[in-house]
Amino acid sequence: MKRILAVSFLVLMAVPGFAENYLLNGGQASQISYQMVQKVQLSSNTRKLILSYVVPESFESPTYRQKITELDFNFSPSPSKREDKTDRHGNKVVELTWNAPLMAVTATISLKAMNRVELQTLHTSAPFPPTGLPEQVQAYLKATEQVPVNDGRIRAKARELTALAKTQFDAVQKILTWVVDHMHYVAIPQSYDAMYAFRSGKGNCQNYSHLAAGLMRAVGIPVRIVNGITLKEPYDIKIGSSILTLKMAQGRHSWIEVYFPDLGWVPFDPQGSELFVSNRFIRVEVGLDNKETKQDGLVRWFQVEGTSGRPRFEENINAGFVADRVDFIAQKTNYGPREMLLGPQVDAAFTKVSVATPPPKKVPEEELKSLRYSEPYVFGNLEFPENVDFLSLQWSAQQGADGTMELQKNFLVETAEYVTTRGQQYAQTFILTRPMQLKKVGLALHKFNDDGHLWLELSKDDGGKPGEYIATSDIIPLSQMKFVPGYSWVDFDFSGSSVILSPGRYWVALGFTDGPIVNWFFTYGKPVGPQDGTRYKTMFDETWSRSLAYEFNYRAVGLAPK
């Protein structure tokens, strides 16, 4: 007998409308013209340079398909030696060597990718724990330094999360729901392993992948780490009368593939998608962890003994969408994590878990006026790589066991939106949990010119969108903003408006005039605010009906009552 969707409910806090699980139907089909150019400027003491690349191959899963054609590697000058090999995970590796190179080396990798995502009801009856796994699949149950499967804390949490699971999908969804809510994205974590993510609740894509892999492997579910490239082309998902826009940064990314006995290997992005990844992903390399999946773009060199220094390295990625069809429709469920989780509808038995947070309690206006505001108060999405110049960012170098020096892949990417386009206006919500006398609101911005003016418009919330006007900040001429590398706080002054805010939800919308060119940094996911808390509207919109899947970096600064 067919079992559909859910057989039982586990409600942790019954507040309807707070779950952020979305079931998707539809798909994407794109033809992508892709090119990566790497340039290595050698130091004078370099004796030998070795570059390694993994050949991107075609791949098929029940939801995501990648077809690679017209793959071409071009190197200038020509290498002294080329070796083609296949590693134990099936990655085809091209290794190039230059002996005593006298000039900069440029490597160009170009290809055409036909990427397709098809999401319909997915059928799986795989039991939990899995049984009868093929020998080559069992290799992806192993522990590594970055994925410490045998750590008692990882094993205990994995058993706790999956204690009542009867199907593999049930176990995987419970683990992923916990990871999505436990973690929030930071661009530069202190460490990239699963235990740092477990203890701190912070990390980048590597941490998300390692933590999800560790928890799943600990209960017998095979997981492999995938390294590849994400492309910055945005895409829309229709949710009722609203549109949700998703966008990744263009650069290196880590995600996972989970093995189901009746489905094979299926991709997941532990930052917010299950059983699929977008076709904006270019899949390249697989392995047990990110220390192992390092061969694509690996730079190694020998230098004259007793000398120091290292090559300068640049990597530029360009992708053109020759054809692009997107047709996604989403239905929001009444179960799932607080953070957004996207996936297809699944025909399998599983427990519906709902996690919610009640809204803050408002304070009457007369009481607000009677309070004494004297305690400094700062609130917002505060973590971002301040003043980092992404164009000249250097990868970290370390010495290998054989004496070679090597540059490690850099997963730090620029996540920012061009927010002064003539056709659109952007707004960010913030939710106060205590009364506040607002002094200023800062945004993480980078300017590209000196033309024009910026300001912020503060408003109340109206059903999850900007509503009644409250106040406008002072106007800032771009010519008075400092030009600095990367992104930094730009504060908009509200102190002249005597704004006192009750606990609750508010919006700041960026206003501009006279042609400024400004980017606003954002963080993957929603570290602070609700899923509908970052919105934009076009010149044709009467309401703020379009939302973004990420959260801009902002800070509200003022005074709170003691």
Residues 480-492: pLDDT tens digits?
Answer: 998 888 999 999 9
pLDDT of 257-299, one tens digit each? 999 999 999 999 999 999 999 999 999 999 999 999 999 999 9
Residue of 117, 116, 113 whose CA lies nearest to 32: 113
Do the Cβ atoms of 381 and 554 come closer than 8 Å? yes
Average pLDDT, the chain: 91
Query: Is the pLDDT confidence value at 2 over 70?
Result: no
pLDDT confidence tier of residue 360, bands split at 50, 70 and 90: confident
What is the fold, at CATH topology level, of the domain defined by 117-287+323-354? C8orf32 fold (3.10.620)
ω before 148 within 30° of 0 (cis)? no
* pLDDT surpassing 70 at residue 445: yes
Residue 476: the pLDDT is 97
Query: Residues 74-101: what's their mean pLDDT?
Result: 95
Candidates 233, 231, 228, 253; CA nearest to 245 is 233
CATH fold of 365-390+411-561: Jelly Rolls (2.60.120)
Contact present, 2 and 123 (Cβ < 8 Å): no
List, as one string, the DSSP characters of 110-127.
EEEEEEEEEES-EE---B
Domain coordinates in residue numbering, the chain: 33-115+296-321, 117-287+323-354, 365-390+411-561
Any idea which architecture 33-115+296-321 has in CATH? Sandwich (2.60)
Question: Stretch 320-328: mean pLDDT, rounded?
Answer: 97
How does pLDDT run across 4-62, given as a tens digit for each residue?
333 322 222 223 336 889 999 999 999 999 999 999 988 878 889 999 999 999 999 99
% pLDDT > 90, the chain: 79
What is the pTM (predicted TM-score) of this model? Answer: 0.92
As a 3-state breakdown, the chain gives helix, strand, coil percent values, each rounded to 5, of 10, 50, 40
473 pLDDT band, cuts 50/70/90, is very high
Which pLDDT score, from 0 to 100, does residue 275 have? 98
pLDDT value at residue 6: 34
**pLDDT per position as a tens digit, 506-548:** 999 999 999 999 999 999 999 999 999 999 998 888 889 999 9
Statement: residue 428 has pLDDT above 90: yes
